[in-house]
Amino acid sequence: MSPEMDAAAAPKNRPSQSPAPSSATLKRLKNHIGVLSTTALKYLDQQLPWYRSLAPNERAALGLIAQKGISTFVSWYEDPSSTPSWVVTDVFGAAPTELTRSISLQKALGLLRTIVEVVESQVPDIAPEAEQAALREAVLRYSREVAFAAADVYARAAETRGAWDSRLEAHVVDAVLHGEAHDSLASRIAAIGWKSQKNIRILVGTTPSSNAATFVSALRRMAIRYSRDSLVGVLGDRSVLMLSDTKFDEADLSRLTRFFGPGPVVYSPLAPTVKEMHQAAASAVAGFSAAKAWPQAPNPIGADDLWPERACNGDELARTALIEQVYRPLQQASNGLAETLSSYLALGHSLEGTARELFVHANTVRYRLKRVSEVTGWDPLVPRDAFVLQTALLFGRLHESNL
């Protein structure tokens, strides 16, 4: 077989074997480490404006990485047969945290290109003409390994930050649910990057059985379209979504329900500020726990629409709301509204029966029931509203009998 055929039959992806550097070149390269490092740092300061704007400690961290990279290249060039798998530890092990905090990956790769240019510019002073091509090739191969290492460092740092952010969000959700002191809660919320801390709404639903990380990211992407800030906490089979400065009304919350698992999604009343977040969250959680008692409830459902179920389930907030916002306004109103309502409910919602019971005209009953709706916000002619009103009468009477 001819040499030409041998060459054609050789694997096309076989790496070219570069000649080993001479001892004289290696010696000059080692002697130039200091010069290369100094030149690289000066070049960075001249060519990269963002490098000059860094804090002194950040510049020192990047300078340490640049110097370590050059000295590691010399060691690798001396033994090119070794696999540079130690690049991450040897080059970026000096200050990986400082690197990812100081500059973006794009800037890190720009810094790498600058250092490669500096080393390439010094090649004629280091190696004889016969070895210059091999040295330049080695610089490019090494820079490729460093670029992959940099990408790996940033990927791991992003993964760590993501995990840390998730834990921090979970701590904030837990603090809200347990009513942590306002000052502490405000600082926690600020730490996760919330810019707006007003008009906060909280949603509680089931966690889907699919991947939790996918669910959280998808829910956050949708939520951020309709609110200034969002926060998601996964608490086992229950998930909590907190929205601040929402840009849509209660009817549009249905756009978020499809991201939760099967079952009801309960939303809280608006909390004007962080100070009221705990009560709003408590209402949503209590509503979620009691929602199963109303199978026909719309989805999503407001926590305030579940006052009867919540009160029967032992929620003191709902009991207080029924007494203060429904029962007492009826008691304080004139024209016997509470008596008329009680008779109307007891007689099977019969206008004529109520009129006979109270010795008044049916139109008077209609007028008083209309006043009940105006005073309480719940219409006794609507079956669900009538149930809320009847529950308010029940807990109101029990409360008064215990005084």
> With pLDDT > 70 as the criterion, what percentage of the chain qualifies?
74
CB distance 135 to 74 below 8 Å: no
| Tokens found for residue 277 | 């977040």
Q: What is the pLDDT of residues 317-330, one digit of tens each?
A: 999 999 999 999 99
Q: Which of 1-10, 206-215, 268-277 has the lowest mean pLDDT?
A: 1-10
Nearest to 137 by CA among 149, 150, 123: 123
Backbone angles phi, psi at 230, to 5 degrees: -140, 155
| Tokens found for residue 281 | 């969250």
Q: State how far the Cα of 254 lies from the Cα of 266, in Å rounded to an integer.
A: 11
| Tokens found for residue 251 | 């009817």
CA angle 363, 364, 365 (to 5 degrees): 90
- pLDDT of 244 reads 83
Please say if the pLDDT value at position 8 is more than 60: no
Burial profile 170-195: b = 16 or more Cβ within 10 angstroms, e = fewer: bebbebbbeebeeeebbebbeeeebe
Please say if the pLDDT value at position 87 is more than 60: no
Nearest to 333 by CA among 361, 386, 369: 369
| Nearby residues of 110 by Cβ (< 8 Å), 6 or more positions away | 48
Single pTM value for the model: 0.60
CB distance 77 to 26 below 8 Å: yes
Region 142-149: mean pLDDT is 73
Q: Please, what is the average pLDDT of the chain? A: 78
Residue 68, CA distances (Å) to 38, 48, 94 in order: 12, 20, 8
Rg (CA), the chain: 36
| Nearby residues of 25 by Cβ (< 8 Å), 6 or more positions away | 126, 127, 128, 131, 135
Region 118-124: mean pLDDT is 80
- pLDDT of 16 reads 45
Q: State how far the Cα of 375 lies from the Cα of 334, in Å rounded to an integer.
A: 11
- pLDDT of 157 reads 57
Q: State how far the Cα of 303 lies from the Cα of 204, in Å rounded to an integer.
A: 10
- pLDDT of 345 reads 94
Please say if the pLDDT value at position 267 is more than 90: yes
Q: What is the pLDDT of residues 352-399, one digit of tens each?
A: 999 999 999 999 999 999 999 999 999 999 999 999 999 999 999 999
Please say if the pLDDT value at position 89 is more than 60: no
Q: Which domains does the chain have, with CATH numbers?
A: 17-160 (no CATH), 182-304 (3.30.70.2730), 316-401 (1.10.10.2840)
Q: State how far the Cα of 247 lies from the Cα of 249, in Å rounded to an integer.
A: 7
CB distance 203 to 241 below 8 Å: yes
159 vs 178 pLDDT, higher one: 178
Q: State how far the Cα of 249 lies from the Cα of 256, in Å rounded to an integer.
A: 12
Q: What is the pLDDT of residues 12-29, one digit of tens each?
A: 433 445 567 778 878 888
